Amino acid sequence: MNDTQWPRYEVFQQEAEGKPVLHNGTVHAADIELALLNARSVFARRPDATQMWVAPAEQITSRTREELAADPPAAEAAGAAEAYYIFGKLAEQAQASLLGEVGAASGEAAVAAALAQFGAEAALRWWAVPAAAVLKSDPADAGPMFAPAREKTYKDQAEYPVVTMMRQLRAKANTNHKDTENTK
């Protein structure tokens, strides 16, 4: 990596209360606060967010099912346990989604704990994200961060009834055609 490149942050987003927290993409930023602001600019232009998380990519432990089968993770690690968010990619086409939280002393041990808790077959790919490394949008900022997109209904393709308009145009053309035929 070029040393002028800012670090990469993974972005997670919850579309609405009660919906899963999903991995959304990545941003680069000079620090984690700016990462959250960039994430908001890039990913919240449509009314589908109630909260957003960012986490430094380099602190995330990522393992595929194949890698885990070939090289099972060690459940034990030195040091004190801390909280990890466990994300899993459940299908090839799907984004990774939040499965839950485990306590472990390392990212690898957190993956091992996740396999025990959720089952090795639960996900195609596992991510352990140290909870302390995550910056979440402040619920108090949800209004200014996410509400503006909701009022902009003209960004919704359903606002443009072009299929109906084309049908009406064709119907009009057919009527005109018949009128011409009749007067002949």
Give me the 112-141 binding string for other proteins, x by CB under 8 A, dash otherwise.
-------------x----------------
Taking CB under 8 A as the rule, does residue 2 contact other proteins? yes
The reply on whether position 78 binds other proteins by CB under 8 A is no
Using CB under 8 A, which of 8, 50, 90, 122 touches other proteins? Answer: 8
9/19 Cα distance (integer angstroms): 22
Which is nearer to other proteins, 6 or 103 (by Cβ)?
A: 6
Which lies closer to other proteins via its Cβ, residue 43 or residue 118?
43
Please tell me whether residue 169 binds other proteins under the rule CB under 8 A. Answer: yes
Q: Are 137 and 53 in contact (CB under 8 A)?
A: yes
Task: Name which of 59 and 81 has its Cβ closer to other proteins.
Answer: 59
Token pair 């996900």: residue: 123
Rounded CA gap, 73 and 108, in Å? 6
CB atoms within 10 A of CB 28: 13
Distance CA 167, CA 101 (A): 53
* Residue whose C-alpha is closest to residue 54's, from 35, 31, 29, 30: 35
Contact residues: other proteins, CB under 8 A: 1-2, 4-6, 8, 25-31, 34, 38, 41-42, 45-46, 62, 64, 92-93, 95, 125, 152, 154-157, 159-162, 165-166, 169-170, 173
